[in-house]
């Protein structure tokens, strides 16, 4: 294949003038990010077309479709904060960092909830489909794309797991305190506020139980003593109170035995679900934070993923083949932010 034609096709793809560009109608901000990524991937398209004899147009279409699907999936993860000017990228910097994906502080999101600027929502299945499509194009391998997909999928899993667990088990509504049922919505997932509601709810439950099972029966006894109801009614109520009192005392006496039996059944395990969730979330966050460096140890990341999986984490399936490919390339170090190819610019002379 003529090398000059391949180069010209790649240049036209990078500047967006090529009819092969599938993203002509998308939002300008996303189109700008597409151009940045095209400049990174154009040398890969060129090398594959020249080495394999594949039509350069087919290479460009494959790469452009992968980018368009990925950026379309990630679009909603940044747009709300970006439009409100709450991200550094929206501050008017002449050379802002790439905004379409950035590493998140998942521990801070767990503490602060959905109002934290690092909180985001991405459809898990759509993101996995993007990774599968990228992996299917075997010649299109870029370390930063590998990192972006792994980082996004891990962040999505850690954030969604933390928010789901907070909404389900942190404050449980009961017969005595139905007001706790919407605690997560009212606090927007803020952990300190959830703990305050949980403490208040537990105090309310204890006071209500104390009233119904202690104060109320005593008041009933006093009423019976000073009332003028018939003897048969009084005798029946006294028997009912006696049976209730015996049952209540037996229940109190059996609680230590039941507690000891439950501890024996759950020996070696974490019994408090909140403690279990906090430990698992911490392990998952530790795995994720290993991606927040310039030079990453891929072997250590994979080992950490295996450890958190053994604790109960359910990472998205495409993470494993992506990490396997990173390890096949270099087992000792992974530098996704270092230059991988010489980006192709539209004003480059050939």
The whole-angstrom separation of Cα 110 and Cα 244 is: 45
| Token pair listed for 217 | 């029966």
For residues 221 and 170, state if they share a domain.
yes
Asked if residue 209 is part of any domain, the answer here is yes
In this structure, how many other beta carbons lie within 10 angstroms of the beta carbon of residue 301? 21
For residues 51 and 125, state if they share a domain.
no
Asked if residue 160 is part of any domain, the answer here is yes
Asked if residue 23 is part of any domain, the answer here is yes
The last residue of a domain, from among 76, 101, 126: 101
Q: Is the pLDDT of residue 349 over 60?
A: no
For residues 93 and 126, state if they share a domain.
no
For residues 182 and 325, state if they share a domain.
yes
How many domains in the chain? 2
Residue carrying structure tokens 């140890």? 297
Regarding predicted confidence, which is higher, 34 or 154? Answer: 154
Q: Which domain holds residue 20?
A: 1-101
Dihedral sign computed on CA atoms, order 342, 348, 349, 350: positive
For residues 173 and 315, state if they share a domain.
yes
Residues 12-24: what's their mean pLDDT? Answer: 63
Residues 54-77: what's their mean pLDDT? Answer: 85
When mean pLDDT is compared across 228-237, 269-278, 283-292, the lowest value belongs to 228-237
For residues 42 and 113, state if they share a domain.
no
Q: Quote the pLDDT of residue 161.
A: 93
For residues 164 and 229, state if they share a domain.
yes
Dihedral sign computed on CA atoms, order 124, 170, 307, 144: positive
Q: Quote the pLDDT of residue 94.
A: 44
For residues 158 and 197, state if they share a domain.
yes
Asked if residue 348 is part of any domain, the answer here is no
The whole-angstrom separation of Cα 183 and Cα 172 is: 9
- Max mean pLDDT among 240-249, 325-334, 336-345 falls in 325-334
Q: Quote the pLDDT of residue 33.
A: 76
Asked if residue 91 is part of any domain, the answer here is yes
For residues 200 and 279, state if they share a domain.
yes
For residues 23 and 160, state if they share a domain.
no
In this structure, how many other beta carbons lie within 10 angstroms of the beta carbon of residue 97? 9
Asked if residue 267 is part of any domain, the answer here is yes
Residues 186-190: what's their mean pLDDT? Answer: 84
Residue carrying structure tokens 């950035």? 102
For residues 97 and 148, state if they share a domain.
no
Mean pLDDT, the chain, as a whole number?
78
Q: Quote the pLDDT of residue 227.
A: 67
The whole-angstrom separation of Cα 158 and Cα 10 is: 38
Asked if residue 154 is part of any domain, the answer here is yes
For residues 29 and 130, state if they share a domain.
no
Q: Quote the pLDDT of residue 281.
A: 93
Asked if residue 179 is part of any domain, the answer here is yes
């Amino acid at each position: 294949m003529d090398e000059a034609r391949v180069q010209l096709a790649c240049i036209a793809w990078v500047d967006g003038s090529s009819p092969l560009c599938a993203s002509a109608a998308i939002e300008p901000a996303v189109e700008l990010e597409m151009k940045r990524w095209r400049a990174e991937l154009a040398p890969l398209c060129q090398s594959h077309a020249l080495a394999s004899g594949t039509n350069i147009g087919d290479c460009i279409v494959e790469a452009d479709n992968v980018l368009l699907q990925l950026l379309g999936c990630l679009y909603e993860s940044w747009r709300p904060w970006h439009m409100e000017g709450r991200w550094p990228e929206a501050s008017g910097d002449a050379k802002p960092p790439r905004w379409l994906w950035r590493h998140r502080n998942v521990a801070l999101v767990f503490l602060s909830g959905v109002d934290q600027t690092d909180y985001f929502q991405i459809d898990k299945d759509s993101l996995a489909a993007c990774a599968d499509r990228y992996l299917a194009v075997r010649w299109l391998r870029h370390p930063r794309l590998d990192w972006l997909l792994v980082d996004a999928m891990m962040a999505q899993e850690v954030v969604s797991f933390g928010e789901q667990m907070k909404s389900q088990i942190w404050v449980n509504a009961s017969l005595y305190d139905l007001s706790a049922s919407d605690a997560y919505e009212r606090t927007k997932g803020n952990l300190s506020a959830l703990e305050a509601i949980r403490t208040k709810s537990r105090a309310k439950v204890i006071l209500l139980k104390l009233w119904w099972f202690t104060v109320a029966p005593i008041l009933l006894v006093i009423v019976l003593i000073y009332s003028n109801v018939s003897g048969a009614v009084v005798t029946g109520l006294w028997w009912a109170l006696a049976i209730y009192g015996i049952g209540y005392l037996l229940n109190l006496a059996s609680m230590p035995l039941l507690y000891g039996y439950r501890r024996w059944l759950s020996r070696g395990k974490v019994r408090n679900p909140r403690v279990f969730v906090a430990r698992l979330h911490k392990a998952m966050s530790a795995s994720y934070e290993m991606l927040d460096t310039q030079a990453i140890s891929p072997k250590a990341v994979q080992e950490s993923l295996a450890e958190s999986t053994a604790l109960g984490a359910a990472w998205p399936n495409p993470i494993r083949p992506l990490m396997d490919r990173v390890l096949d390339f270099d087992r000792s170090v992974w530098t996704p932010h270092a230059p991988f190819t010489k980006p192709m610019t539209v004003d480059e002379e050939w």
